[in-house]
Amino acid sequence: MTATFENRVALVTGAARGMGLATAKRLLDRGARVAVNDVSRDQIESVAAKLGSNALAVAADITNRAAVDAMVTKITDHFERIDVLINNAGIVAPTAFEDIAEDEWRRVLDVNVNGTFFCSQAVAQTMKANGYGRIVNFSSTAGKNVSTVGGASYTTSKAAVLGLTRASAKELAPHNITVNAVCPGMIDTDMLRVAWSEDRIQGYIPSIPLGRMGKPTEVADLVCFLASEEAAYITGAAVDITGGELMV
């Protein structure tokens, strides 16, 4: 049975491309009204226009708490509620441990951890008032092991997202709000292709047991499941989607 989201409102951060865009499209296809976020106003407004009348562009820097609060207010003014939050926005930096500059370290943790925290905290109040909520955070196999693509800053940030997922899941559970994380492995996205050459990608693929990279749409399907009624008894979980790269 395919999960449906009729009468639900979702916010997807980092929705201008990749897994965020794929997730926004899946939610829209299944009946949700979706607020799509990115830091670039021009880019996200262009994306929303292509997605149709049930998509609302909300440009905001998720590392800025005031901007996040304003974004949530805009969404609730427009759609009256937020039922689902997908914390997809993130950045990766491959710099070697001893070469990471302070600014780079802070920036990666700011986007990947603080952004996830600010958005989750901002939507929690409206979800509690409605007695319902689904939050899905994007971690990574890096959160459980060590990143293949990113450096120490990325691995650290994605491990922190798993801790945030567990802690917020426990506190929000009495309000019928579930919080889970997805942990993608090697997914064919623009972010990966900027970080790695095609030769390096092709050289890595044989190490994946299923023999290929994952698709953003496959991650989107998992996210939609965790955000659906079918996953109502799942919270505090970190679900791998890796093609067998990580087997626990």
Give the pLDDT confidence score for residue 195 in this predicted structure. 81
Q: Residue 134, Cβ neighbours under 10 Å: how many?
A: 27
User: Per the structure block, which two tokens stand in for 180?
Assistant: 């889970």
Q: Which of 103, 73, 86, 82 is nearest to 19 (CA)?
A: 86
First to last CA, the chain: 27
CB contact at 8 A, 45 and 59: yes
Residue 59 belongs to domain with CATH number? 3.40.50.720
Give the pLDDT confidence score for residue 194 in this predicted structure. 83
SS3 call for 231: helix
Longest Cα separation, the chain: 51
214 assigned to some structural domain = yes
| Residue 247 predicted with pLDDT over 70 | yes
For 51-72, write each residue's pLDDT tens digit. Answer: 999 999 999 999 999 999 999 9
Q: Which of 132, 154, 204, 233 is catalytic?
A: 154
Give the pLDDT confidence score for residue 1 in this predicted structure. 55
235 assigned to some structural domain = yes
Q: What is the dihedral of CA 98, 109, 22, 230, to 10 degrees?
A: 120
DSSP, res 138:
E
Number of domains composing the chain: 1
Give the pLDDT confidence score for residue 170 in this predicted structure. 98
For 157-200, write each residue's pLDDT tens digit. Answer: 999 999 999 999 999 999 999 999 999 999 998 888 888 889 99
248 assigned to some structural domain = no
4 assigned to some structural domain = no
50 assigned to some structural domain = yes
154 is catalytic: yes
* Helix locations, the chain, DSSP H: 18-29, 41-51, 65-79, 102-109, 115-130, 152-172, 190-195, 198-204, 216-226
233 assigned to some structural domain = yes
70 assigned to some structural domain = yes
Expressed as residue numbers, the domain containing 213 is 9-241
202 assigned to some structural domain = yes
